[in-house]
Every structure is written in C-alpha cells, then in structure tokens.
Amino acid sequence: MHWADVVAKEVADTCDHPLIATGISPTGIIHVGSLREAITGESVRSAVEGLGKEVRLIYLIDSFDPLRKRYDFLPEKFEEYVGMPISRIPCPCGKHRNYAHHFVQPFLDAVDSLGVKCEIIWTHELYEEGKFAECIDKTFKKRDQIIQILHEVTGKEAKDDYAPYNPVCEKCGRFTKPIFDTYEFPFVEYDCNCGHHGKADIRKGDGKLTWRLEWPAKWMIFGTSAEPFGKDHAAAGGSYDSGKRLVSEIYGGKAPHPIPYEFVQLKGVGQMHKSLGCSVTGLDAINMTPPEVLNYLFLRVNPSRAIDYDSGMGTLDMADEYDRMERLFFGGEWTDSEENSVRAYEIAQHNHVPSKLPLQVPYRHLVNVVQMASDFDGVMDILSRTEDMSEASSEDIDRLKRRVSCVRYWLNGFAPDQVKFSIQQSIPADVELTMNEKVFFQALVTRMNDCPWDAETINTIISEIAKESPIGSKGAYKALYKILIGKTAGPRIGSFLASMDKKFVINRFIQASQ
C-alpha cells in the first residue's frame, strides 16, 4: 500500500472532520524541502478525499516570526528590522504588502500551480484576531508546569525565567520579555531593552508564543488531524515530542498524526544565486520541473527517505520515469515492484486523473526541440515534422507549454553544457572540411534528395554512406555536428535531422560539399 494511502486510512478512520496542516516560515529563501512538505500534505488530503471524506488542507505561514538576522541577500537597511515580526517589516522590493508577503507570494503561486488545494492562513492575523488568546492565557497560568515538561522532554536544565510568550514592544517594534507576575488576563507588562515600559494585550497582535508552545496551540485552534514536518522537529526531545505533552497537559487537546519527512538533498547544482548562499531554491525547482513530475518525485518514496533533487541530467531522468509510469498506468499492466510508483503517479494527479493517455513528447527530445525553436509556435512546427500533433487536446497543449517553459528555465541556468547547442545560420567560419568530408556530404545530398524524411531512414542512409567513406561513422557524426551546431557532439542525429526542415538540411549539405 502506498504510504499516502496508509496515512489517509488512519486519518479517515479516526477523525470526523479531517484537517491536514502544513506550513512555511518565510523569513528568507524558500528551499526545495518546503515543496516536499506542501506536496506531502496535499497527497494525504487527496487520498483522504478519495476515501469519500470531506477534508481540509491548511497552509500556515509563520508571518509573525521575528527576522532573526540580516541575511546576505538583504540590503544593509534591514539591520534595523532584526528582532521585529516579519509581517511588520517592509518588503525589500517595494511591491509587496510586507516582508512575509514578498518571500512567500511567489511560492504560494507556485504551490497553486502544483495543484495543492489549500487554505492560506497568516499566523500574524490569527494573533491579531485573538485566536491564540485562550492558549496564551493557559500558558501564563501553567508556566511552572510548562518549564517542567520542557525539562523532562528535552533533558535540558529547567530555566525559571523561561518565557513561553514574548510581547512586541509598542515603541521599538521588537520582541521582548514579559514581567510574568504582572499577568492578569488579558494584559502583561514588559520592560524592553529600548527603555520602554509597556503593556501587551494577549488578545491582540501584541506578542507571540515561542515555537514550542505555538505549534501545539495551532493544533488546538484548528483541531489538526495530521501534519507533515521536517525530521528535525521529530527527533527525540524535539518540538513534536514536547508539543504532544503540552497540547494534552496544558491546552487539553490532542497531537496530530505525525508525518515526519527527510530532507531533500541537492545534486548537480547550477550557477545561480551565489548571493543567496544556495544554488537551487524551491522556486527554481518549480520553474524547471514540470508540476506533475515534481509531485511524482516527492510521492514515489516514503517521506522517511531522503530525496536527491538533481538539477542536472536527473531532471530529464525524472521526467522520463514519470512518463513511463503514465504509460504503465494507462496500459493497465505493471509488475509488483512498479506498483508503488504507478500509484504515486495516480496520487500525483490529485484526483484529476486524465481520461486517456496524454500526448507524450519524449522529454529529452523536447530539450532539443526547444533549442531549435524561437517560440512555442516554432516548437509545434518542429514537433509536427516527426509526430502526429493533430490528435493533441487542449490539455495536451497546455501540458506541452508548461514543459517547454520548464525546459527553457533549465537550459538557462542548470543544464550541463553537453546538452546545449544552437543551430548555426550557416557553416561556422572556423569549420574547415577535408576532401573526404566534402565527398561524404555530396553522397548524402544525392541519397537524401528524395528519401522519406524520418529518423530511421536518415540513420540508415548516414550509416551506409559512412561505412563506405574513409571518415567512418565517428568522423561522419563529427562532421555533421560541426556544420550544423559548430560542436563535435550533439543530439541523436536521426531524430535531430528529421526535426529540422528537410530543405534547410539539404542546402547545408550542399554548402558543405563545395
């Protein structure tokens, strides 16, 4: 049974109104791992839905977290905002409502394109609306018990001055510590480092719970049934362990079904984003991997297993594997060892499985075609030389467009040089051909003038002529790539030539033979 089905069954059996929670802390750059969380949450949601239960998926944005430091990618001016809630810090580009929006909006757009059906919830709004007030009140009243629980769970020394709630100073806007014995619902006083003495109202956005207390408080507010989270939170003594006890002993609730997931490791990284201190962001991953393939990538293995996200050739392998599973799914036959991957393909459709096998253009071929065309119409022209595009539905065309845009993004920042080429407008000036090569091209012209223009025929003619020629087949390929793309290697020659206009190719051969 696929892992998402296992979790879904457990959730559907034990909860009347299942709610899956997932979230993100948009303090800085959003990593590929955050995609795993969103997709894991959505897959459980759609699997529960598939069992006939009404289910919600919420996406909690930690927009009331403080900016912990001025990251390298932030202008110097942001030094003054360190320690303030990110919902109250201006956006770095001037186009968004605030800092939190600036970093999370592109990601939310992307998550939407992955088909994740969630309700977006901004944590700072929950505080401003007083949703946390009941939990914060309990937190003040049972502070000694909280300190004891945290000591028992983490094994760390109990600290008498531990503050589970931090007011925001009304003067300087930074988080500060409360004076515990001044607490009387709904107010607590504080002395800020800036010299200001003030009073916070726990029913308003005047302060926030620390992470260890905020997480179980969110479970209370929403009645969360299941939640994916990074394995660091799942470690012994980690925030899930403490949250489990705090939610039942302090708040009187229940912890959600945990779905801890392993991190995503990056391989074959590109050259971009040196200033961000990371090479592939979550947004890169979304921009260069077709959404259905990205969904599949995260679903095909159990969350407890690490995933290598390979932004190099692995991107192509993954798309090929996805397409293969799609063919198996529609073919209705697969082996036991393929069972899990085929089901992963199905779940990746989020209950919108296509009614028939979609048009499949081999992804590697598309990489070549995109480099031969200047726009999408050009891609369609080239494809129609080698495939029957007349049957393509509007969904097929939409998918093709998405894939073309992913391929372009990948070629621009991540693809290894060996797959990149551009068709030269004429034979490159530095290419000098030997007499044997010229004769080879002359023979190609003669044979190809009236041959059918398909990959197989082209391959046969080239290999037959090369066999007779002193340049041999190795020399033949080299000469072909030299006059077409100015390199000594390139895409597979048969389908490459068949994808081009026949007249164009023959003219180039004529040029080369003179």
Residues of the shown chain interacting with Zn ion in the complex, contacts defined by CB under 5 A: 91, 93, 95-96, 102, 169, 171-172, 192, 194, 196
User: What is the nearest approach in angstroms of Zn ion to the Cβ of residue 244?
Assistant: 35
DSSP string, 278-302: -S--HHHHHHHS-HHHHHHHHHSS-
User: What is the nearest approach in angstroms of Zn ion to the Cβ of residue 206?
Assistant: 12
> Residues, the chain, total?
514
Residue 192 or 325 having the CB closest to Zn ion: 192
Residue 7 or 110 having the CB closest to Zn ion: 110
DSSP string, 42-109: HHHHHHHHHTT---EEEEEE-TTSBP-S--TTS-GGGGGGTTSBGGGSPPSSSSSSSHHHHHHHHHHH
Residue 194 or 353 having the CB closest to Zn ion: 194
User: What is the nearest approach in angstroms of Zn ion to the Cβ of residue 434?
Assistant: 58
Q: How far is CA 141 from the centre of its chain?
A: 42
Helix (H, G, I), strand (E, B) or coil at 181: strand
User: What is the nearest approach in angstroms of Zn ion to the Cβ of residue 370?
Assistant: 30
User: What is the nearest approach in angstroms of Zn ion to the Cβ of residue 95?
Assistant: 5
User: What is the nearest approach in angstroms of Zn ion to the Cβ of residue 77?
Assistant: 14
* Residues facing 168 on adjacent strands: 175
User: Residue with structure tokens 């090929």?
Assistant: 320
Which tokens is 230 given? 């990074």
The closest alpha carbon to 283, from 272, 298, 296, 275, belongs to: 272
Residue 95 or 274 having the CB closest to Zn ion: 95
The closest alpha carbon to 22, from 4, 35, 9, 3, belongs to: 35
| Cis peptide leading into residue 186 (ω within 30°) | yes
User: What distance in Å separates the CA atoms of residue 367 and residue 364, rounded to the nearest whole number?
Assistant: 5
Sheet holding 19-24, edge to edge: 119-122, 56-61, 19-24, 226-230, 257-261
User: What distance in Å separates the CA atoms of residue 208 and residue 123, rounded to the nearest whole number?
Assistant: 10
Sort 437 into a burial class: Cβ within 10 Å, 0-12 / 13-18 / 19+.
buried
User: What is the nearest approach in angstroms of Zn ion to the Cβ of residue 155?
Assistant: 34
Residue 172 or 328 having the CB closest to Zn ion: 172
User: What is the nearest approach in angstroms of Zn ion to the Cβ of residue 80?
Assistant: 13
User: What is the nearest approach in angstroms of Zn ion to the Cβ of residue 126?
Assistant: 23
Q: How far is CA 484 from the centre of its chain?
A: 36
Residue 88 or 403 having the CB closest to Zn ion: 88
Could you tell me if 168 and 175 are in contact, meaning their C-beta atoms sit under 8 angstroms apart? Answer: yes
User: What is the nearest approach in angstroms of Zn ion to the Cβ of residue 139?
Assistant: 22
Q: How far is CA 456 from the centre of its chain?
A: 38
Could you tell me if 119 and 111 are in contact, meaning their C-beta atoms sit under 8 angstroms apart? Answer: no
Geometric angle at alpha carbon 191, from 186 and 192, rounded to 5°: 110
User: What is the nearest approach in angstroms of Zn ion to the Cβ of residue 171?
Assistant: 5
Residue 93 or 236 having the CB closest to Zn ion: 93
Residue 168 or 483 having the CB closest to Zn ion: 168
Residue 17 or 97 having the CB closest to Zn ion: 97
Residue 198 or 258 having the CB closest to Zn ion: 198
* Residues facing 198 on adjacent strands: 190
Residue 96 or 502 having the CB closest to Zn ion: 96
Helix (H, G, I), strand (E, B) or coil at 173: coil
